Amino acid sequence: MAEERYILVIADNSSEMKIALEYACARSKKTGRKIIIATFVEPIDVLTTQGVSEIMINEAREEAEARLKEAASFVKNKIGELPALSLREGETISELKKLIDEEKNINVLVLAAKSDDKSKDPGPIITSLVSNEITNLRVPIMIVPGNFSEEYISQIT
């Protein structure tokens, strides 16, 4: 029996997250691939007491869990099944690379670029991956323009 193949999408607070999820769902429907959604809790870089740090980390973890639930609900509504979920603690790019290396069934990473006419910055994750890490990944990166509509995504997938 063949192993299931996964499309990885990152759940963050960006407005582009929905575009990446939309594209991943459309590809999932066409290819039968499963979806895995990952989110990351960045280390707290504040000099404070241990108790305050723990509160801040717990709040960040709760926000990350809420992002995962929202993204999972979106996927469930689109393709009829819940995605796999991954919440990782640590620096985003480092943990993303570890996740891709550990989960051998992930075979593509889908990201959506910012669609801001005033800025040419596609977003911090895309910028970091493309400029620093592209040769260190074992999967291709699918970058979807952030101005794509649901209808257009449906047409091209």
- How does residue 47 score in pLDDT terms, banded at 50, 70 and 90? low
- How does residue 153 score in pLDDT terms, banded at 50, 70 and 90? very high
Q: What is the pLDDT, as a whole number, of residue 114?
A: 86
CATH topology (fold) of 6-156: Rossmann fold (3.40.50)
Contacts of 133 (CB under 8 A, 6+ apart): 93, 97
Does the CA dihedral 148-150-154-157 come out positive or negative? positive
Q: Nearest-CA neighbor of 39 among 74, 14, 19, 56?
A: 14
On the CB side of 39, CA atoms within 13 Å amount to 21
The answer on pLDDT for 17 being more than 70 is yes
Q: What is the pLDDT, as a whole number, of residue 27?
A: 96
Q: Nearest-CA neighbor of 145 among 122, 118, 125, 120?
A: 122
Q: From CA 83, how far away is CA 80, in angstroms rounded?
A: 10
The answer on pLDDT for 49 being more than 90 is no
- How does residue 2 score in pLDDT terms, banded at 50, 70 and 90? low
Q: What is the pLDDT, as a whole number, of residue 1?
A: 36
111 membership: H or E segment, kind and range: strand 106-113
**Cβ proximity of 63 and 121 under 8 Å:** no
Over range 142-149, report the average pLDDT. Answer: 93
Task: Enumerate the H helices of the chain as residue ranges.
Answer: 17-31, 50-79, 92-102, 124-128, 150-156
Lowest mean pLDDT among 37-46, 71-80, 90-99, 145-154: 37-46
Higher pLDDT, residue 22 or 134: 22
* Mean of the per-residue pLDDT values of the chain: 90
pTM summary value: 0.90
- What digits encode the pLDDT tens for the residues 65-115? 999 999 999 999 999 999 999 999 999 999 999 999 999 999 999 999 987
Q: From CA 83, how far away is CA 70, in angstroms rounded?
A: 11
Beta strands 141-145 and 34-41 are unpaired
Q: Nearest-CA neighbor of 86 among 99, 76, 71?
A: 99
